[in-house]
Amino acid sequence: MADEKVLYEIKDRIAWITLNRPESLNAVNRDMVKSIVEYCRQAEEDRNVQIVIFKGNGERAFSVGGDIKDRARQNATAVEQSESPLVQRQSKYSAIPGTPAPAIAAVNKITIALVHGYCVGTGLLMSLACDIRIASNLATFGPSFALIGLHPDWGGSWFLPRLLGTARACELTFTGAMISAEEAERIGLVNRVVQHEQLIRVVTDLAEKMAKNPAGVLRLAKESIYRSVTSDLETAFARENDVQIECFYSDEFLERITAFLERRQSRSKG
């Protein structure tokens, strides 16, 4: 439904999860948290889905982060109940993936953030939880937590140093400064920057290209890449060997290698 705050659509093996609150610059409230997590689980379980794309509706923002008014109401309720906001949040969202960024990171399909406009606070962290980030040249990025007296959450203290290194992660977090799309690309926060009017086409083309590859291979390769961040080379070699054997005996490999050999044989005869 168009009036829903988070939209979910599947087209050509690609699931689109869209933040649909443009009047509030796609600020994420508690109801949206539940929807995002649920749609992540749906995409995870749907064998017809290979790629998941996250984007925001409206011209001005991917997301400006958490809804401050919603958080204030939550804090007031917690005070009335003599329960701290942190304790209340932990009791409500203790089971990961129960919040959007961990839920996105847990999806074993390829995830892409299509970023335009403001990408701030928890909106930024949702994009960082994706495997790939493609940004409009008009996008701007910032952690912003320190500016309003908050600590990074939803994995911010984990994602930023792994992508940027500790020094840049510290600078961005401690200042809360906004940076341009070009600067985000330079420091490795996003994969690439494209002209705003080309953003949807570029991301769609990239997703369609990936979706042509075997789903099982993509899943295994994604898992191997992330495991390698915390493993040594010997462990990585051992996993690659085990996974490659699994691929060698898969129907997808046999079908594709047979087709490849037939095409080469046909060209050689011609």
Give the per-residue pLDDT at 78: 40
**What pLDDT sits at residue 260?**
67
Q: What is the pLDDT of residues 150-189, one digit of tens each?
A: 666 667 777 888 888 899 888 888 888 899 999 999 999 9
Q: What is the pLDDT of residues 43-95, one digit of tens each?
A: 999 999 999 999 999 999 999 987 666 554 554 444 344 444 443 333 333 33
pLDDT at residue 270 in the model: 58
165 Cβ contact list (under 8 Å, min separation 6): none
| Second CATH level (architecture) for the domain 6-211 | Alpha-Beta Complex (3.90)
pLDDT at 148: 63
More confident residue, 72 or 205: 205
Strand partners, 117: 61
pTM metric for this prediction: 0.83
Better pLDDT: 150 or 236: 236
Which class is domain 215-269?
mainly alpha
- Amino acid 91: pLDDT: 35
User: Do 54 and 17 touch, CB atoms closer than 8 A?
Assistant: yes
Average of per-residue pLDDT across 21-48? 93
What's the confidence (pLDDT) of residue 74?
53
* End-to-end CA, the chain: 54
Per residue in 213-232, pLDDT (tens digit) is 888 888 988 988 888 888 88
Q: What gap in Å lies between CA 196 and CA 198, rounded to an integer?
A: 5
pLDDT of residue 86: 40
**Average confidence score pLDDT of the chain:** 82
- Report the alpha-carbon distance of residue 190 to residue 152 in Å, rounded: 19
Percent with pLDDT over 90 in the chain: 47
Give the pLDDT confidence of 117-139 residue by residue, as tens digits.
Answer: 999 988 999 999 999 999 999 99
DSSP H helices, 46-116, are 68-80, 85-92, 100-106
Closest CA to 183 of 157, 203, 164, 161: 164
Boundaries of every domain in the chain:
6-211, 215-269
Residue 111: the pLDDT is 97
